[in-house]
Structure 1
Amino acid sequence: MDLFTKYYSKWKGGRKNTNEFYKTIPRFYYRLPAEDEVLLQKLREESRAVFLQRKSRELLDNEELQNLWFLLDKHQTPPMIGEEAMINYENFLKVGEKAGPKCKQFFTAKVFAKLLHTDSYGRISIMQFFNYVMRKVWLHQTRIGLSLYDVAGQGYLRESDLENYILELIPTLPQLDGLEKSFYSFYVCTAVRKFFFFLDPLRTGKIKIQDILACSFLDDLLELRDEELSKESQETNWFSAPSALRVYGQYLNLDKDHNGMLSKEELSRYGTATMTNVFLDRVFQEYLTYDGEMDYKTYLDFVLALENRKEPAALQYIFKLLDIENKGYLNVFSLNYFFRAIQELMKIHGQDPVSFQDVKDEIFDMVKPKDPLKISLQDLINSNQGDTVTTILIDLNGFWTYENREALVANDNENSADLDDT
């Protein structure tokens, strides 16, 4: 105890000097400058810019990457397996010594172990390692690039920040060369909504730069740098010019009175024009409208939800609409409320209505909720059947496709067999 007291007192600076000790604690909190403290704001912006420039200089440039590839190729370890060049740990460390201080972080036992798979000689693939380095460098470059638009300097981007980033990125993407400048604002809005719809589910109006880097959206956007991107890839890429023009074109086609907004009646013609009025009523009740009409930004959320019904963010959007009592779960009453509208549409189209009891049982069998009487959002996500369940409840065409799925599969098989015969 005496020894402990001696060392503790020495570490703390002695009982008599306690106050002096606390004075040596470094400052760890700096408040953000207020809006009227213009000079402090400018100073903070300038210091952040200098910091980011310094971080950028610490990254490997093209010449240094080429030198690294040359060193790796020079130190490959035989024997060759097919065309794959390999390197063992000893040569790996030698390359690390020669590659320079910027590369030091990559030449560790941890990185080597990450890339070590089934090679019987205990080697790793040179190409895999080089791709790993390239990916890391790209991530850091992109993070620095995004941070330049982080006006608040808190590690996140607001909607306006991301809009500025994408707007200035457009001229660097060859696949967007054909876009007219008058369409830029609509393109930027279309691109930004995907980031915020999926990465800001709580609608805080900001997303972390780390989250942007971790998802695949930025990869999809920067894929447009490829001048030879296939037509198929463009059609499946939300950020491509054909995709953006398709979504905006649909919006214009729905806007029959050409006032730049969509009424409920206009939105009812979306897709196959078979969504129920009950569901559309809920869309206009729950999501932002202006004098009862929907603007382009709200429409984009609607499209993203319906085109990505397997995704948790999309299911969250639709679940909010289905949860008419705002209880956090769907029960028999809420399921019946929406399915009655499907039954009414079936009568209008001359189809025999299907029993709700049968559909309800099928839904609960598909989802298998923890509570046998309630379906939560998490139940819907965990079941991997959320897209099917929501389609059954909101869209007559979707319900008809589900009901006749076996006949449709059989018909497809017959058509395939006919094609094989010819």
Structure 2
Amino acid sequence: MDWKEVLRRRLATPNSGPNRKKSEQELKDEEMDLFTKYYSKWKGGRKNTNEFYKTIPRFYYRLPAEDEVLLQKLREESRAVFLQRKSRELLDNEELQNLWFLLDKHQTPPMIGEEAMINYENFLKVGEKAGPKCKQFFTAKVFAKLLHTDSYGRISIMQFFNYVMRKVWLHQTRIGLSLYDVAGQGYLRESDLENYILELIPTLPQLDGLEKSFYSFYVCTAVRKFFFFLDPLRTGQYLNLDKDHNGMLSKEELSRYGTATMTNVFLDRVFQECLTYDGEMDYKTYLDFVLALENRKEPAALQYIFKLLDIENKGYLNVFSLNYFFRAIQELMKIHGQDPVSFQDVKDEIFDMVKPKDPLKISLQDLINSNQGDTVTTILIDLNGFWTYENREALVANDNENSADLDDT
């Protein structure tokens, strides 16, 4: 058979020969064979799976146990070396002075008053000469961030230099705080922060006159404020409230806080919900209490007070809980010879101020969103605060009159 006959037969039989169309199953089988071939090659062969896994870099190291002293020391030393390296990456005083000199040399006239300016072209030139440590500051993003209304498209040299200084200072502080992270987990425990502030006190000029006997009070106050707002208050007041000088506050002693007009009902809730020792409050618990009352516009403070007002632990305030606290205000008004105010009127005012999503329930988020949380909580827990709210118009008018009298004189 000659080649012409072979060609004719192949053309007459499309499913045979090298050019035939492959079936769907054959294509899948071929694809699987190729995948198996290349996957096995990449993995190093099916029989070498363990060897392959050994080539993956280790990314997790367990924390050493308490009895593994050597491993603990190694971890501490490696963290110290790491932080030292990070510290060396920051600009030192000499490098900052050099940066200021370069910026001043490349300023772009005209000046705005006494303020030197620099355009983007000169900004980049300074970046090239300032050295690798400064590279992160000389970007288009930083320039645009500091660019405001200059008609020549320039930024203030002083503003830029202050920006660099703040960044350097923040990184220095971060590294300094990290040195007190004993566990090396990226956060500070209360005891870690106490150690940091205690060692910081001698370097603070504002505390030159602070007696060492008060160091512990200052440290506790500062640390408590950090922890309250992130997850110096009146230390003397705490000592004055502590009449029996046992270092703790009873409910009766705490009742003299401020203007001594908080209701007993509210104080009962404080001692029910807050951590106490044999029915008395320690200094740390007192600081939380004071921080909440003195910062009632802040979400963290409102959350603290809301928990006390939510007597049924339902996650919202209803008419019952509002009435529960306001009855104590009415009792105090009677004691002080004031005409009691109708709860119905107060309740309507509170709901009008807050405008909750549910017309019968006030949630914590409702209080925060209304920007009236401080007013609402004051009305419910403090007679003096309620009286000030009720007479707000008369007080404003009186202030205006006093201002007018001062102007006349």
The TM-score with structure 2 as length reference comes to 0.88
Question: CA distance change for structure 1 residues 387 and 138 in 2, over 3 Å: closer, same or farther?
Answer: same
Tell me whether 102-111 or 394-403 shows the greater mean CA deviation.
Answer: 102-111
Tell me what 1:240 maps to. none
Tell me whether 172-181 or 85-94 shows the greater mean CA deviation.
Answer: 85-94
8 Å Cα contact 2:251/2:271 also seen in 1: yes
CA distance in 2, matches of 1:421, 1:184: 49
CA distance in 1, matches of 2:169, 2:223: 21
8 Å Cα contact 1:163/1:188 also seen in 2: yes
SS in 1 for 2:171: helix
Aligned-pair distance for 1:66?
0.3
CA distance in 2, matches of 1:415, 1:60: 55
8 Å Cα contact 2:221/2:233 also seen in 1: no
Tell me what 1:220 maps to. none
Q: Which runs of 5+ in 1 are unaligned?
A: 205-248
Q: Which has the larger radius of gyration?
A: 2
Tell me whether 253-262 or 282-291 shows the greater mean CA deviation.
Answer: 253-262
Question: CA distance change for structure 1 residues 93 and 3 in 2, over 3 Å: closer, same or farther?
Answer: farther
Question: CA distance change for structure 1 residues 203 and 162 in 2, over 3 Å: closer, same or farther?
Answer: farther
CA distance in 2, matches of 1:396, 1:93: 63
Tell me whether 77-86 or 169-178 shows the greater mean CA deviation.
Answer: 77-86
Aligned-pair distance for 1:79?
2.5
Question: CA distance change for structure 1 residues 120 and 262 in 2, over 3 Å: closer, same or farther?
Answer: same
* Number of equivalenced pairs: 378
8 Å Cα contact 1:75/1:91 also seen in 2: yes
The TM-score with structure 1 as length reference comes to 0.85
Tell me what 2:100 maps to. 69
8 Å Cα contact 2:222/2:232 also seen in 1: no
Question: CA distance change for structure 1 residues 279 and 147 in 2, over 3 Å: closer, same or farther?
Answer: same
Aligned-pair distance for 1:35?
1.3
CA distance in 1, matches of 2:230, 2:137: 30
8 Å Cα contact 2:218/2:232 also seen in 1: no
Q: Which runs of 5+ in 2 are unaligned?
A: 1-31
CA distance in 2, matches of 1:367, 1:392: 13
8 Å Cα contact 2:118/2:155 also seen in 1: yes
Aligned-pair distance for 1:175?
1.1
Tell me whether 392-401 or 87-96 shows the greater mean CA deviation.
Answer: 87-96
1:9-66 Cα offsets, whole Å, 9 max, x none, are 7766677766544332111111111111111111111111111111111110011000
Percent identity of the aligned residues?
A: 100
CA distance in 1, matches of 2:339, 2:301: 31
8 Å Cα contact 2:248/2:283 also seen in 1: yes
CA distance in 1, matches of 2:128, 2:207: 43
8 Å Cα contact 2:265/2:328 also seen in 1: yes
Aligned-pair distance for 1:78?
2.0
Question: CA distance change for structure 1 residues 382 and 267 in 2, over 3 Å: closer, same or farther?
Answer: same
Question: CA distance change for structure 1 residues 121 and 13 in 2, over 3 Å: closer, same or farther?
Answer: farther
CA distance in 2, matches of 1:16, 1:46: 41
Tell me whether 170-179 or 113-122 shows the greater mean CA deviation.
Answer: 113-122
Question: CA distance change for structure 1 residues 60 and 254 in 2, over 3 Å: closer, same or farther?
Answer: same
SS in 1 for 2:181: coil
CA distance in 2, matches of 1:202, 1:265: 21
8 Å Cα contact 1:201/1:313 also seen in 2: no
1:372-412 Cα offsets, whole Å, 9 max, x none, are 11111111111111110000000000000000000000011
1:325-351 Cα offsets, whole Å, 9 max, x none, are 111111111111000100111111111
CA distance in 2, matches of 1:101, 1:320: 52
Residue 299 (str. 1) matches residue 286 (str. 2) = yes
Aligned-pair distance for 1:121?
2.2
Aligned-pair distance for 1:119?
2.2
8 Å Cα contact 1:332/1:373 also seen in 2: yes
Question: CA distance change for structure 1 residues 97 and 295 in 2, over 3 Å: closer, same or farther?
Answer: same
CA distance in 1, matches of 2:48, 2:234: 50
Question: CA distance change for structure 1 residues 191 and 201 in 2, over 3 Å: closer, same or farther?
Answer: closer
Aligned-pair distance for 1:90?
1.6
Aligned-pair distance for 1:280?
0.1
Tell me what 1:354 maps to. 341
Output the aligned Cα RMSD: 2.9
8 Å Cα contact 1:76/1:87 also seen in 2: yes
